[in-house]
């Protein structure tokens, strides 16, 4: 690299120079050994597929042979012009908004409840977080049972509570399916947000709360003016994770409704699956994937903006 430097050193202290060069080689060796295997797997199976998605999205291609039928932006125009996709997109957005306005307050409220002055907090924590580790398939099937029109848990309970109640096919009804799904999403995922808020609450120094109560603040005032402002970064993170999850949701929807009835619970991911894998329109499906990706990217950029501003402030 720098021959004149190396040779001048060699004149003065030959053994030291070779030792240094040896060390340099050893370091290079370590770097290669430690980085290369991961880099290879990661590049081939994560980054290249993403790049390929962009590439395929420009072709009309059924996945056989090489893509040759270049079609420019036409896949994107067709996707965006399809009302079924636009509806699916709005379903994602509805889930996203519902998640943020209901799931997060519930999670925060329960975290506040469990954080202090309650017995059995370990048990409550264990229970509240449990659904998060269950698989989407198990969750979906169990809730399919709860929602089933005749003999399902929900209809049985409502039937006993409300006289003359006629059973509802929660998942088979275009009006109720999204809300029914959303309830399961909340059941399954609020535990993560609960956990994040609980961790943040534990970082609030007890002295702060004591000081507030000595100054005569009520519990409500303490929560509103002392604790809540300290939850900022956790709340932002929580909103971000929940939004990201809402944009990509597939498993639960597929297990419970496969996007039906008549597309009433279709999401971008189930739409992609139907076109990409069931009809093998790889180009078209890739265009959907790229659109999902762009939506997630925009979200990530907004998140980064907000957190960076917070860090600077």
Partner 1 sequence: MSAVSRVSYRTSKLISQTLKYVIAITASAIIIIPLIMAVLGGFKTNSDLQTNSYGLPTTFNFTNYTSILASSSFWQQLVNSTVIMFATSVGVVILSAMPAFVFARMSFRGRGLVFNYFTLGLLFPITVAMLPLYITLRDMQLIDSLWGIIIPQVAFGVPGSILILRNFFTAIPKELEEAAALDGCATVGFFWRILIPLARPSLAAVAVLTLVASWNAFFLPLLVLNNNALWTLPLGIMQYQGQFAQDWSKILAFVSLALIPTIILYLLAEKQIVAGLTAGAVKG
The footprint of partner 1 on residues 142-171 (CB under 8 A) is: 142-146, 148, 150-153, 156-157
Residue 37 CB, nearest distance to partner 1 (Å)? 6
Q: Quick one: which segment of 4-12, 76-84, 86-94, 141-149 binds partner 1 (CB under 8 A)?
A: 141-149
Q: Does residue 8 bind partner 1 (CB under 8 A)?
A: no
Name all contacts of 252-257 with Cβ < 8 Å and 24+ positions apart.
Answer: 252/136, 252/139, 252/140, 252/181, 252/184, 252/185, 252/188, 253/181, 254/140, 255/136, 255/137, 255/139, 255/140, 255/141, 255/144, 256/140, 256/143, 256/144, 256/171, 256/181, 256/184, 257/171, 257/177, 257/181
Residue 11 CB, nearest distance to partner 1 (Å)? 27
Residue 122 CB, nearest distance to partner 1 (Å)? 9
CA–CA distance, 228 with 223 (Å, rounded to integer):
6
Half-sphere exposure of 57 (CA within 13 A, CB side): 21
Q: Does residue 298 bind partner 1 (CB under 8 A)?
A: no
> Pick from 65, 117, 164, 216: which binds partner 1 (CB under 8 A)?
117
Which of helix, strand or coil describes residue 197?
A: helix
Cβ atoms of residues 118 and 100 within 8 Å:
no
292: alpha, beta or left, given left = phi > 0 and alpha = psi -120 to 50?
alpha
Q: Does residue 211 bind partner 1 (CB under 8 A)?
A: no
> Pick from 138, 224, 228, 302: which binds partner 1 (CB under 8 A)?
138
Q: Does residue 182 bind partner 1 (CB under 8 A)?
A: no
Closer residue to partner 1, CB minimum distance, 31 or 208: 31
What's the token pair of residue 298? 């925009």
> Pick from 97, 130, 211, 228: which binds partner 1 (CB under 8 A)?
130
Q: Does residue 128 bind partner 1 (CB under 8 A)?
A: yes
Partners of residue 60 on adjacent β-strands:
69
As to burial, measured by CB atoms within 10 angstroms (0-12 exposed, 13-18 middle, 19+ buried), residue 213 is: middle
Size of the site for partner 1 (CB under 8 A): 89
Task: Output the CA–CA distances (angstroms, integers) from residue 89 to 93, 139, 158, 208, in the order listed.
Answer: 6, 24, 32, 44
Site for partner 1 in 20-79 (CB under 8 A): 26-27, 30-31, 33-35, 37-39, 41-42, 44-50, 52-53, 56, 63
Q: Return the closest-CA partner of residue 55 out of 289, 217, 220, 277.
A: 289
Site for partner 1 in 76-115 (CB under 8 A): 109-110, 113-114
Q: Does residue 177 bind partner 1 (CB under 8 A)?
A: no
Site string for partner 1, 220-259 (x = CB under 8 A): -----------------x--xx--x---x-xx--xx----
Site for partner 1 in 187-206 (CB under 8 A): 187, 192, 195-196, 199
Site for partner 1 in 268-297 (CB under 8 A): 269, 272-273, 276-277, 282, 285-286, 289-290, 292-293, 296-297
């Amino acid at each position: 690299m720098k021959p004149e430097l190396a040779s001048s050193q060699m004149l003065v202290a030959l053994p030291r120079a070779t030792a240094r060069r040896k060390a340099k080689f050893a370091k290079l060796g370590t770097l290669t050994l430690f980085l290369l295997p991961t880099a290879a797997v990661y590049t081939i199976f994560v980054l290249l597929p993403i790049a390929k998605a962009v590439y395929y999205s420009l072709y009309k291609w059924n996945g056989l042979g090489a893509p040759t039928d270049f079609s420019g932006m036409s896949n994107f125009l067709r996707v965006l012009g399809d009302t079924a996709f636009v509806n699916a997109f709005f379903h994602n957005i509805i889930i996203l908004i519902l998640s943020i306005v209901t799931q997060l307050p519930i999670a925060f409220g329960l975290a506040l409840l469990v954080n202090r002055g309650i017995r059995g907090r370990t048990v409550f924590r264990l229970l509240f977080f449990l659904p998060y580790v269950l698989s989407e398939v198990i969750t979906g099937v169990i809730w399919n049972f709860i929602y089933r029109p005749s003999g399902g848990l929900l209809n049985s309970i409502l039937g006993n509570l409300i006289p003359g109640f006629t059973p509802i096919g929660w998942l088979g009804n275009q009006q109720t399916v999204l809300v029914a799904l959303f309830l399961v999403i909340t059941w399954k995922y609020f535990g993560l947000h609960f956990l994040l808020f609980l961790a943040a609450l534990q970082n609030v120094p007890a002295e702060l709360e004591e000081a507030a109560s000595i100054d005569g603040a009520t519990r409500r005032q303490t929560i509103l003016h002392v604790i809540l402002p300290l939850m900022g970064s956790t709340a932002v993170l929580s909103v971000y994770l929940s939004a990201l999850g809402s944009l990509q949701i597939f498993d639960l929807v597929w297990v419970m409704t496969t996007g039906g009835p008549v597309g009433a619970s279709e999401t971008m991911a189930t739409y992609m699956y139907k076109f990409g894998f069931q009809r093998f329109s790889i180009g078209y499906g890739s265009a959907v994937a790229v659109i999902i990706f762009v939506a997630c990217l925009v979200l990530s950029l907004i998140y980064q903006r907000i957190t960076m501003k917070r860090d600077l402030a």
